[in-house]
Amino acid sequence: MNKKEKPDGSVAEPIILKAPGHPITRAQIDPDALKIIDRLDRQGFMACLVGGAVRDLMLGKAPKDFDIATDARPGQIKKRFPNAYVIGRRFRLVHVHFPGGKIIEVATFRKDPRNIPAPPEGELADAPVDIYGTPREDAFRRDLTINALLYDAVLDSVIDYVGGLEDLACRRIRVIGDPVERFVEDPVRIWRVLRHAARLGFEIETCAAAAVRSQAHLLGTASGARLYEEFNKDLAYETRPVIEALRCHGLLRYILGRAGEAYEADAGLFRRLIGFLEIEDHIRSTGVVLSLEEMYALIFWPWLEELLLTEVPIELHKALHDEFQALQTGATIPKTIRANVVQIIYLTGMMLRAFRSGRMRWSLRQRTHWPQAERLIFLIREGRPPQLGETFETLFQRRFPGGAKPEKRRWRPSRNRRPKRPAGGNPSPA
């Protein structure tokens, strides 16, 4: 029985917090999100802020994005916003585009997927109407109680169907419904429990904590695409605490493959990673944002460091490529991202080697990924991003004030090199 269902099976009324009983003000909400809500309201629809935005506003934090849920159907939403695009097949959502690349997601309230009959074969494109539900059903299909609050900006009220307000007040992570069932249904929720507990410093409710431990292995069955999508969320914000929680529960291996196993087995290696992530979380809070590829390069860096610094002569680029081939990450990192990450690590590795040998192949500065590698080498060696005007050369000259050793000439067979004439003059035509 869910705590919001009465013993006789009837549904308890939601808790409604009217202003000034909650801390949310319209001024804290993205004006474009308010425009969408107000326009839908004027057209007779109900539209609320939902998910992480309401949770963060209740906690006095700035939300990362503003998601909206409404009783308008995707087609009805699209009709009212010229800049709206319907995406998805079975669950159609609307993305409303604004200048500067901003996108606000507007979703129709929907039922728990367990209560939706499977569509007949071949009818995926036109979703049957009964996937949609009431605000209450929409709240119950969500993962955590603190992620299922609604904020009605028109009535200036917070609506709670699932006990999320109480859990926020007690600083507690509670799964909606039976945790084991919800994890079996979607193992990524295990990760989400750990993420939100780690980011907010909340305690995980006993039942959920036991289910996280007993069902952790299920994460290995999640699709590579889902794991990649979720991992990118952790690379975008507050990375360190979540990575620590994932390691604590032995989950890194399901996401990062052999690198994850190494981070779980080797405390020293993991400390090195955490050191970098701490620096990264700090510099992000000062407004310096690394690209996704730079973040992946940082994640794999400690694992590859030994290879990068080996004294054994190797063809570094090929060696890195082979390591990535054998990595077997659970998260499916797209080929182009992986190739770029290898390039960034390769160049950073060459810089690192140059600090040891005093020699550098300066022609590498022409490579596309040089600026990204430069940012990374500053993070790794200096614990900070480069300041205006600082380059790798700045670091190199500081290390070798007397000047660098001459560049070693690399022998390459040249295509233009003329074949040696055989003794005795030109070969005669046949």
**Residues at the interface with ligand ATP (CB under 6 A):** 51-52, 64-65, 67, 142-143, 147-148, 186, 188-189, 233
Minimum CB distance to Mg ion smaller for 56 or for 374: 56
Coil, helix or strand for 322? helix
Q: Report, in Å, the least distance between residue 104 CB and Mg ion.
A: 11
* Binding of residue 386 to Mg ion (CB under 5 A): no
Closest CB to Mg ion: residue number: 52
Minimum CB distance to ligand ATP smaller for 143 or for 160: 143
Specify the residue for token string 């600083």.
171
Q: Which two tokens stand for residue 1?
A: 């029985």
Q: Report, in Å, the least distance between residue 48 CB and Mg ion.
A: 15
Q: Report, in Å, the least distance between residue 8 CB and Mg ion.
A: 36
Do 257 and 327 touch, CB atoms closer than 8 A?
yes
Smallest Cα–Cα separation from 358: which of 407, 296, 427?
407
Minimum CB distance to ligand ATP smaller for 106 or for 351: 106
Coil, helix or strand for 159? strand
Smallest Cα–Cα separation from 383: which of 285, 293, 282?
282
Minimum CB distance to ligand ATP smaller for 161 or for 301: 161
Minimum CB distance to ligand ATP smaller for 142 or for 338: 142
Q: Report, in Å, the least distance between residue 194 CB and ligand ATP.
A: 12
Q: Report, in Å, the least distance between residue 177 CB and ligand ATP.
A: 10
Q: Residue 312 region, left (φ>0) first, then alpha (ψ -120 to 50), else beta?
A: beta
Among ligand ATP, Mg ion, none, what binds residue 233 when CB lies within 5 to 8 Å by partner kind? ligand ATP
The contacts found for 110-114 with CB under 8 angstroms, 24 or more apart, are 110/137, 110/138, 110/141, 111/137, 111/138, 111/141, 112/137, 112/140, 112/141, 113/141, 114/185
Minimum CB distance to ligand ATP smaller for 56 or for 293: 56
Among Mg ion, ligand ATP, none, what binds residue 152 when CB lies within 5 to 8 Å by partner kind? none
Q: In what order do the strands lie in the sheet with 93-98?
A: 15-18, 157-160, 150-152, 47-50, 67-70, 102-108, 93-98, 84-87
Minimum CB distance to Mg ion smaller for 65 or for 166: 65
Smallest Cα–Cα separation from 47: which of 23, 67, 30?
67
Alpha-carbon gap, residue 144 to 195, rounded angstroms: 11
DSSP 261-308: HHHHH-HHHHHHHHHHHHHHHHHHHTT----HHHHHHHHHHHHHHHHH
Q: Report, in Å, the least distance between residue 311 CB and ligand ATP.
A: 43
Among ligand ATP, Mg ion, none, what binds residue 147 when CB lies within 5 to 8 Å by partner kind? ligand ATP
Q: Report, in Å, the least distance between residue 93 CB and ligand ATP.
A: 11
Among Mg ion, ligand ATP, none, what binds residue 143 when CB lies within 5 to 8 Å by partner kind? ligand ATP
Q: What are the residues facing 9 on neighbouring strands?
A: none
Per rule CB under 5 A, count of chain residues that contact Mg ion = 2
Report helix angle 370-382 to 335-357, nearest 10.
60
Q: Report, in Å, the least distance between residue 76 CB and ligand ATP.
A: 22
Q: Report, in Å, the least distance between residue 289 CB and Mg ion.
A: 17
10 Å CB burial of residue 263 (0-12, 13-18, 19+) is buried
Minimum CB distance to ligand ATP smaller for 51 or for 163: 51
Minimum CB distance to ligand ATP smaller for 148 or for 345: 148
Among Mg ion, ligand ATP, none, what binds residue 188 when CB lies within 5 to 8 Å by partner kind? ligand ATP
Minimum CB distance to ligand ATP smaller for 64 or for 213: 64
Distance of CA 315 to the CA centre of its chain: 32
Binding mask 32-71 for Mg ion (x = CB under 5 A): --------------------x------------x------
Q: Report, in Å, the least distance between residue 226 CB and ligand ATP.
A: 9
Helical H segments across 121-163, by residue range: 135-140
Do 94 and 77 touch, CB atoms closer than 8 A?
yes
Alpha-carbon gap, residue 33 to 104, rounded angstroms: 7
Binding site for Mg ion (CB under 5 A): 52, 65
